Amino acid sequence: MTVAARVFEPPTLADVRAAREFIAGHLPLPTPLLGSDALSRALGLDVRLKLESLLPVDILELEVGYGLISIVDADQNGELLERITHIRKQFALDMGVIIPPLRIRDNLQLKPGEYIILLKGVQIGGGELMVDHLLAMDPGNVAERIPGIPTTEPAFGLSAIWITSKQKDQAQYLGYTVVDLSTVIATHLTELIRKHSPELLGRQELQNLIDVVKQNHPKVVEELLPSLLPVGVLLKVCQNLLRETVSIRDLRTVMEVLADHASHTKDPAVLTEYVRAALSRSITKKLLTTEGELPLLTLERSIEEKVAQGILQTDQGPQLSLDPNFVQGLIRELNTQAERMVMVNSQAVLLVSPIIRMHLRQLVEKFIPHLVVLSHNEISSNIPIKSFATVRLSHAS
Summarize pLDDT for 195-218 with one digit per residue, the tens. 999 999 999 999 999 999 999 999
Q: What is the average per-residue pLDDT within 381-388?
A: 90
What are the angstrom distances between the C-alpha of 210 and each of 96, 141, 234, 237? 12, 47, 10, 14
21 lies in some domain: yes
CB 308 within 8 A of CB 318: no
Q: What is the DSSP letter of 67?
A: G
Residues 41 and 64 in one domain: no
Query: E strand or H helix at 72, and its extent?
Result: helix 69-72
329 lies in some domain: yes
Residues 135 and 165 in one domain: yes
pLDDT at residue 23, rounded to an integer: 54
Q: Which of 261, 249, 280 is CA-nearest to residue 223? A: 261
Q: Which of 176, 137, 131, 175 is CA-nearest to residue 155? A: 137
Residues 113 and 151 in one domain: yes
Residues 189 and 205 in one domain: no
8 lies in some domain: no
Which CATH number is 357's domain given?
3.40.50.12790
5 lies in some domain: no
1 lies in some domain: no
Q: Count up the domains in the chain and report the number.
A: 4
Q: Last residue of some domain: 153, 173, 195?
A: 195
271 lies in some domain: yes
CB 297 within 8 A of CB 390: yes
Which CATH number is 89's domain given?
3.40.30.60
Q: Last residue of some domain: 159, 179, 195?
A: 195
pLDDT single digits (tens) 56-102: 889 999 999 999 999 998 778 788 999 999 999 999 999 999 999 99
Residues 142 and 247 in one domain: no
Residue 30, pLDDT > 70, answer no
Residues 263 and 176 in one domain: no
CB 248 within 8 A of CB 275: no
pLDDT single digits (tens) 99-143: 999 999 999 999 999 999 999 999 999 999 999 999 999 998 898
pLDDT single digits (tens) 181-195: 999 999 999 999 999
pLDDT at residue 6, rounded to an integer: 45
CB 113 within 8 A of CB 107: no
Look at residue 158 and give its three-state secondary structure.
coil
Residues 49 and 88 in one domain: no
pLDDT at residue 74, rounded to an integer: 77
286 lies in some domain: no
Q: Last residue of some domain: 195, 221, 254?
A: 195
Residues 255 and 269 in one domain: yes
Which CATH number is 234's domain given?
1.10.8.540
β-pairing, 114-119 with 122-128? antiparallel
Instruction: Please give the angle made by the CA atoms of 328, 331 and 336, to the nearest 5 degrees.
Output: 125
**What is d(CA 348, CA 115) in angstroms, rounded to the nearest whole number?**
32
6 lies in some domain: no
Residues 361 and 386 in one domain: yes
Residues 67 and 162 in one domain: yes
Q: Which of 57, 52, 56, 19 is CA-nearest to residue 34? A: 52
Q: What is the average per-residue pLDDT within 382-386?
A: 90
Domain around 156: 60-100+109-195
**What is d(CA 65, CA 302) in angstroms, rounded to the nearest whole number?**
55
Residues 84 and 166 in one domain: yes
Residues 27 and 77 in one domain: no
What are the residues whose beta carbons fall under 8 Å from the beta carbon of 2, sequence distance 6 or more? 103, 104, 105
What are the residues whose beta carbons fall under 8 Å from the beta carbon of 325, sequence distance 6 or more? none
Percent of residues, the chain, with pLDDT higher than 90: 75
